[in-house]
Amino acid sequence: MKFIYNISKYLPFMLVLLMTACLEEEETALIPQADFSIEDGAVLKQGETINFVNHSEESYSYLWSFGDGQTYVGVNASHVYNLPGDYTVTLKAEAEGSRSISSMDIKIEGLVPTASFSVEDGDNLKVSIPVSFVNETMDAVSYSWSFGDAANSTSTEESPTFTYDQPGDYTVTLTATGTGGNAVSEQVITVNPNNYELYFIDNDAGKMRKIDLNNPTVAVDVFDLPGFCMGMAYDATNEEFYYSDDDTKAVYKNTLTGSAQMTVASGLADPRDIALDIADSYMYVAERAGDKITRVDLIDNSTLTYYSSTDDANFLLPVGLDIYDGNLYATAVEIDSETVWKGSMSEISLTRIIDYGAGGYGYGLEVDKVNQKVYFDDTDGGKLLRADLDGSNIEEVGSSVDRVYGIAINNETGKVYWVDRNGLFKVANLDGTEEGLLVDLAVDVRGLIIRKVD
């Protein structure tokens, strides 16, 4: 059986139904409306967390852009700005292919620092001793210091050190700069006199003389010397000077005022530098003409050849001498005998630790017993050098124009002093930085001792 339908009479009705359905779909589609605000109480400042509250309607997808290259996907957002400035915050709200955008311009303020600093050991500041300033500032990106001295010295380091060359009261100013402005902190510090003196042999005057480091341009006579003296040492325990005399071939000791000169050893062969071992009551003398180092018993004045060219044929013409931690350190100036030698005091073991190729040719020598370095003269190179106690890591720390017979180290102030035989005194930091002329006395100088004055 075949059925035949004529749908033409139904077409108008069907079209009406279709149009009604489309109109209902259009009426129920979501149309997003983006909107947001900043949470009440928010601080619009660098480093602060800012909460953004979403008030968008008819949307279900959200993209935040904070204007600094950072974005976030989510309903509500939080953000921290690392730099101050003007930013545009944008929220894009989407739903069913439709999009709505809301934007807000905000200004992020920078940080104004809180400037503050302290001074290490602030009650005990002295001339020539570096003063360390400790920066305690918050929220700063750069610093400018003024140290209040006559030269108007400044620094841009965060926590600098500065050395005052005159006693007095100084106003130190720290200006700290932040992303939102500047702040200033000031303190008045008191720098006390530096109670150190340099003692040396002046062979032109035939006297032991000294320089007050608070006024180094003036040399003061201490006492008369017996002849042309070459080396010296100081016994801080008994406050006595020891000095060798090339004219009389002897070593003497004397009080600080020169009131009680005594002969310690005689009959020496061109005595040069001296090293003291007061704890064991011994004195060591470099005898240049004897090619040896002699030990002198300070109790009975007996002598013993400790090291000589018989221990090493190249150990000839010793001059500079010092003692540290059971070892003797010496310079030798004969050709092919240069430069620095080391000998054990507990066993016969004499070794050249620095040769001419590494250390040149020179006279004076001093051991930095705190930092375990040996300082020595390189006359050929016109340098003051230092090395580790095994002779390694040689480095230049100063310059010279003639033979350096005197070297003195002050670990409290971090300074090394040296003087050549023409009376040119120099000073530098222990690492050789900030080298400067202390005074030029233009006299024949041997030896150098630094002594703290009570």
Q: What is the pLDDT of residue 25?
A: 45
pLDDT digits (tens, 9 = 90+) for 101-155: 999 999 999 999 999 999 998 998 988 778 999 999 999 999 999 999 999 999 9
pLDDT digits (tens, 9 = 90+) for 194-211: 889 999 999 999 999 999
For residue 290, give the nearest of 235, 249, 262, 339 by alpha carbon.
Answer: 249
Q: What is the pLDDT of residue 21?
A: 44
**Which structural domains are found in the chain, ordered by start?**
36-108 (2.60.40.10), 117-191 (2.60.40.10), 196-452 (2.120.10.30)
pLDDT digits (tens, 9 = 90+) for 60-97: 899 999 999 999 999 999 999 999 999 999 999 999 88
Q: Residue with structure tokens 């702040």?
A: 183
Question: Rounded CA gap, 438 and 352, in Å?
Answer: 33
What lies within 8 Å, CB to CB, of 195 at 6+ separation is 126, 452, 453, 454
Average pLDDT over residues 314-326: 97
Residue 22 banded pLDDT, cuts 50, 70, 90: very low
Q: What is the pLDDT of residue 283?
A: 98
CA torsion, points 383, 389, 390, 396, in degrees to nearest 10?
-20
pLDDT digits (tens, 9 = 90+) for 353-408: 999 999 999 999 999 999 999 999 999 999 999 999 999 999 999 999 999 999 99
Q: What is the pLDDT of residue 292?
A: 97
How many residues are present in the chain?
454
